[in-house]
Amino acid sequence: MLSSLVYHGLTFGTAALFCLAVKGSLFGEINKDLQYAVFEVGRGNVLLDDTPWPFAILVIPVLISLGINLLQMTLSLFVKPIFSFFLIAFLMISSAYFMSPYLIGNYAMPIRYGMVIKDGVGIAIGLAISSVLIIISVGVG
């Protein structure tokens, strides 16, 4: 858990330092042109309004990674660690290729949130799933 927190802390710290250096806004509006170019999101899938990023999009990826780490550790109690690694890797790879509310990795990608694209995953559901996953993994573990 500590390594995940350090990883996310370094990532957020680097982004904050970059925004300070270029005098940019860390919590600006969603840049639609950047989505089209970088993420190859079709213009028909992107929502029309420019809503500001909520603070939750910084918290959910951290909670998802903590939940996935704890899930992998809990699974390794029942199966060999290599199998728990492959199961989590399969889950994360599936999340990268398929957008579904049942694949937990989608909640770790802000580009897949319902406030960014049509038919995206819900922020509140991501918070709930990650919290429940952490509690169940700690309880079972």
Q: What pLDDT does residue 67 have?
A: 94
Amino acid type, 31: N
What is the structure's pLDDT at 65?
94
Q: Are 26 and 18 spatial neighbours (Cβ–Cβ below 8 Å)?
A: no
Contact of 137 with 73, CB cutoff 8 Å: yes
> How many Cβ atoms are within 10 Å of 40's Cβ, its own excluded?
7
d(CA 26, CA 57): 12
The tens digit of pLDDT for each residue in 49-107 reads 565 667 777 889 999 999 999 999 999 999 999 999 999 999 999 999 998 889 999 99
> Do the Cβ atoms of 41 and 107 come closer than 8 Å?
no
For tokens 């910084």, the residue is 58
| Structure confidence at residue 75 (pLDDT) | 95
Q: How many residues does the chain have?
A: 141
Q: Tens digit of pLDDT for each residue in 40-60?
A: 666 666 665 565 667 777 889
